[in-house]
Chain A
């Protein structure tokens, strides 16, 4: 197994070290200064997450207002290192109760040190599962419900056993399963309305409150699964009518039984307790775009501009989108703006050089418009033609999947045979949803 980290640093935005942990002594303690000098204080920041300075490699990512930097001096596995960071952050979040930022780190120094000791050993990642770690690393001063019991009897067995992610002997009064399909749409559309790039990245999040050791089976309207199913049953009795979806790049949580997936193409698993991400996928074809944007921007002379933007929602009339924000870029020398909108509110935001149009609730099959007049100030620099950055859009559409993915069934099977309640939700968000103008 490759090394993932020689040292890990947590820095705030100014570059001060909040916490660090050296796992190997092949990097000096002052390497972080090199990072600060050569990356954080230059324009390099944010261009490439992997940098090499003086024989050391720096992998960094920014999470809220914290930079997490991993330093290695040998040939490390970069993907492993980043995965480690992501997982560690998820772990910290689950310990801190959701927030991971500078303050959270400052308030939990001891705990973080304890966790850092546990989740990596001599540069090799260890168990990062919050469920397990919470058994024996408890928050200071807070008595964990588990720690009140006698020391966990067979923690080792659990960590090393077949179902390392689930404790035995769980019992819930009400057995419930929540399943969310969250999709984000990435789009780049030309000004003439032709799609240049479009894909959907989706993930299935689950929250299980189930007793015992249940075995779950999930059925989706994906193409391969359906074909395999009809093949196995050898009869087209219960044919699924409707669209079938082709999923690309499917990745599963470790609980999914891959041998069964490979042979039967069914997703069956023993879920961990609580929240987890069951699977991720990507779809590149047959995407239902929720919005169409039709911009017209006219430059009238050197100091005036006219902007007209029409946004059309193309999902069902009964549905609605929430938190729609449309950012229409304007030149830097914008001095005065005046708007007319048919719904929502618009204003000029000088710090991002955009007109920001917000619509809180956006029903389906409607098309609100914005028309703005912009006055520009004259400058001494000879007029550079404005580069016209794309219009950006943010939104959330509940109960809509851009991919058309649907859950056909979610079966729970447990020895005791209790009844379960399954909840399924769909939501589509904007990833980078851009329209050139």
Chain B
């Protein structure tokens, strides 16, 4: 070691190590720093040995955590020393003490470069390490080429090339723009042929970085990667030193598979086959063994292989194999492995079709819910939540409820929320849902958020058949001696509303109900008292004829609270008291609550908002796309105040529990669900979910049993187009798209794109449509970028172009589905036949989960896109101008109501519309003269001249003269310019757009039911 012989250094280190405390150490270090400073300042200079020694000391002090802000000059100067020991310390200290922003590094670049291109490979290695460690922009600029050369040179030893590959990787990561990798695909492919595993591993790291940026260029590397993987999996020609616990270079395996995941797919069937063979081998060959290190390595490989399998969308058999393997994992005692198994299973849920296979392990997963390790419990909960569907919801929710009473407090809130969501989504029938939620509140009242009980109240209110059942249940819970306050709230509310339905049963008389509710009164907090008061009032209202005793009791309570300090309570008490004296009007006002308008479950929104980790997030997202449990979709257009529905509105869409008689209207398109639930649709369903459901059920031609399996995939994929048509028949498009709100103003985006050639045309929470256009004479090429923003694919994607007569447009095929987080490009060829201001419209629709979204977007293929700016000289202009005399070739108009604009700005505006303003042609400084060429198939190139005369006194009016060789063109151009001048920058809707998207219809927020629901 280079330290040998440096006595001063070892004495210093042992001094520091012998220090009793921090203070002593600091004193010793400060003393040494003083010494070093003095030495460096010495005029006589230092011998290389001394310099080396002091620089080592500096490094040691720096590593102890003290600031060393001098001596960098000495360190850098050591780099150029001829001998290894000095060079080494120079490189090491420079790499440690300096970062890429230090000016000192500039001094070193040349030396480093000399070392890199030199013949001494130890020096090359040192230099490459330094460049890799610091690798600033300047280094990248001046050294990347040399490093690249070193990497592919055949004369270097593997040791140097390995370092060169890593060094290049670092430079590329930091400054991808500086490192020139154009045309590197072949080189990379060459590098992947390398036999030396060390170099191969380093090159693979480099490849991963390159491919992650741009996979297109590296298709040629794909077969090589597969071949490498094959070689490793078969354990062919793997030297002993690269075998780790019997596994041939797990690192390289993982990296290779990672690289493969950056390619969208493997197309070549041969490569695909051999890749799957390898994956198969990995899946088969991995098992859990005793040795931890071996496990770590083999599992790392396995999980990467799993990710790759998921990425490649392998056939079902392989998927089931994966799940089976994971099933083995979650059965193991060792917690780490179990954790990984659960986590990866949750990830597997992303892939469709495997859910059934995963379900086979349900029992095992439920066992993990009782694991002593909380992280495993959490993973198991995530997985259970993710894998729940209609078929197993009952079991899982029951299991969760059971677990709730023994779960840690940290998990309970999440657990109860999840149980509530699952119960809501997958309830086979509504009474079960009510049971579950009431149990939930009973067992974990503290952890049940208000949203959960609000939701159950909403359901009960919206489903008549449920009301008496819920009331009976609530009464049962109130009988218990100690119940949670939330339970008091729910029970009091439900009994107040619906207690009268049971009045004839023994123990349900108003008086008894009042007594049992009032028993809880002393134990509740102020937030519950208003609810109690309301239910008292309701009970009072339902007592017909009034019982004087009960009335007195309740009035006493109202009286008492009339002076309550809490305003809410006071107001309620005073109002109820006054109302209850009015007699009949009480009936009207306190009548049964109206139905709630259907809305997204607050719970699901909450779950989405909640800070969740990735596994959980994916599970939730996945759920969100799944069909909502059809059993719970409740829609009602009934007007408030409990009035019976008017027959003119049409059949009510109510969900009935099976016990009730099914009333079917002849015009109804009801279908019986396997669960025995009946749907009836309303001609105007208010919620998007309903449409999805309806379509889902409607489009199934086969036996209804098929629905139970995987509803969404069965229906939507297959029935994309017809169901979309059905949707259009059922629902006005405007209302429909109203449910997925576009982000940003579509109009503004359109106007912006009229001026620019690329930008975003449309964006909503699911999709972003970008546009990029190139215009050449009368032809144009637009590329639509359809980007899926979700982690689930968008189905039934359709894009239709409705071109105006003057444009010939050809849209290439739009794929039916857009994969998750992918962007699809659809080129669109445009040809301009003749001048016109009409606008092409893109009719775009897609389906996200059950939601069908349809938007009509104007395409920015407008008149000015076919203009070509041209500058004319006075000699050209005036003869032209004169020759085009009078209408219809030359039109003049006085435009009023122009937005006042200073002249230079107006000139700018013209320039952006590709009308070149030619200064100096008109002697009047208040006038503008512009020229341009218009291209179309009929007119070919046509010179257009424009003259604007402004009035400096009144900027809102101007006189415009437009001239061209074609009467239509003259007219259209004049109108176009007029529009632009009048509509700057407010950009109102232009009247001639054939089908401008109607503004989103605001949901009827004036619904009194909604207002009342807000009160709850």
Residues of A bordering B, CB below 8 Å: 13-14, 333-336, 348-353, 375, 377-381
Contacts and interface: CB of A to CB of B under 8 A. Distances in A.
B28 interface: yes
B30 A377 contact: no
A380 B35 contact: no
Nearest to B32: A350
Contact of A335 (B41, B72, B103): B41
B585 to A, nearest CB: 60
B245 interface: no
Given A335-B40, A349-B31, 7 more contacts: A13-B21, A14-B20, A333-B70, A335-B38, A336-B42, A351-B34, A377-B40
Nearest to B23: A13
11 contacts: A333-B69, A334-B34, A335-B38, A336-B38, A336-B42, A350-B31, A351-B26, A377-B37, A377-B70, A380-B69, A380-B103
Interface string B59-82: 000000001011110000000000
Given A351-B30, A352-B30, A380 B37 contact: no
Given A14-B20, A350-B31, A380-B104, A333 B37 contact: yes
A350 B33 contact: yes
A193 to B, nearest CB: 31
Given A378-B70, A380-B72, A350 B30 contact: yes
Interface of B: 20-21, 23, 26-28, 30-35, 37-38, 40-42, 67, 69-72, 102-104
B102 A350 contact: no
Please indicate which of the listed interface residues A348, A351, A378 has the most CB atoms of chain B within 10 Å of its own CB.
A351
Which of B20, B26, B70 counts the most chain A CB atoms within 10 A?
Answer: B70
Contacts of A350: 30-35, 37
A353 B30 contact: yes
B93 to A, nearest CB: 13
A335 B104 CA distance: 21
A50 B37 CA distance: 40
Contacts of B32: 350
B70 to A, nearest CB: 5
Please provide the 4 A-B residue pairs with the shortest distance between their CB atoms, ordered closest to farther.
A350-B34, A335-B41, A335-B37, A351-B27
Contacts of B23: 13
A67 B20 CA distance: 14
Contacts of A336: 38, 41-42
B46 to A, nearest CB: 13
A335 B20 CA distance: 27
Contacts of B71: 377
Nearest to A43: B22
B20 A381 contact: no
A334 B28 CA distance: 16
A151 B228 CA distance: 95
Q: Which of B26, B31, B33 has the most CB of A within 10 A?
A: B33
A349 B34 CA distance: 8
A270 B245 CA distance: 87
Nearest to A336: B41
Nearest to B33: A350
Nearest to A353: B30
Contacts of A333: 37, 69-70
A334 B34 CA distance: 7
B70 A379 contact: yes
A190 B454 CA distance: 71
Contacts of B103: 380
Contacts of A380: 69-70, 72, 102-104
A10 to B, nearest CB: 16
Nearest to A46: B23
Nearest to B39: A335
A378 B40 CA distance: 10
A201 B1012 CA distance: 77
A37 B6 CA distance: 37
A353 B27 CA distance: 10
Contacts of B27: 351-352
Contacts of A377: 37, 40-41, 70-71
B54 to A, nearest CB: 12
Nearest to B41: A335
A239 to B, nearest CB: 55
Nearest to B72: A380
A375 B38 CA distance: 9
B151 to A, nearest CB: 33
A175 B838 CA distance: 125
Contacts of B38: 335-336
A336 B35 CA distance: 9
Given A351-B30, A352-B30, A381 B69 contact: yes
Contacts of B35: 350
A47 B41 CA distance: 37
Contact of A351 (B31, B42, B67): B31
A333 B34 CA distance: 8
Contacts of B41: 335-336, 375, 377
Contacts of A381: 67, 69
Given A351-B30, A378-B70, A381-B69, A334 B37 contact: yes
A380 B103 CA distance: 9
A381 B70 CA distance: 8
A349 B104 CA distance: 30
Given A350-B30, A351-B28, A351-B31, A14 B21 contact: yes
A385 to B, nearest CB: 15
A375 B43 CA distance: 12
B995 to A, nearest CB: 63
Nearest to B37: A335
Nearest to A65: B20
Contacts of B33: 350
A65 to B, nearest CB: 8
Nearest to A337: B38
A32 to B, nearest CB: 17
Contact of B69 (A13, A375, A379): A379
A119 B70 CA distance: 55
A348 B37 CA distance: 12
A152 to B, nearest CB: 43
Most buried by A among B28, B37, B42, B72: B37
A16 B38 CA distance: 38
A347 B41 CA distance: 17
Contacts of A13: 20-21, 23
A64 to B, nearest CB: 13
Interface centre among A13, A348, A377, A378 (most CB of B within 10 A): A377
A257 B892 CA distance: 118
A13 B28 CA distance: 17
Contacts of B69: 333, 379-381
Contacts of A352: 27, 30
A14 B34 CA distance: 26
A147 B858 CA distance: 111
A336 B27 CA distance: 18
Nearest to B103: A380
A92 B28 CA distance: 32
A124 to B, nearest CB: 34
A351 B30 CA distance: 4
Indicate the member of A13, A333, A350 with the most B CB atoms within 10 Å.
Answer: A350
A381 B69 CA distance: 6
Q: Which of A14, A335, A348, A379 has the most CB of B within 10 A?
A: A335
- Of B21, B35, B104, most buried by chain A (CB within 10 Å of CB) is B21
B845 to A, nearest CB: 60
Contacts of A14: 20-21
A13 B26 CA distance: 14
Contact of A348 (B34, B40, B70, B72): B34
Contacts of B104: 380
B851 to A, nearest CB: 53
Contacts of A379: 69-70
A348 B35 CA distance: 11
Nearest to B67: A381
A352 B69 CA distance: 18
A350 B31 CA distance: 5
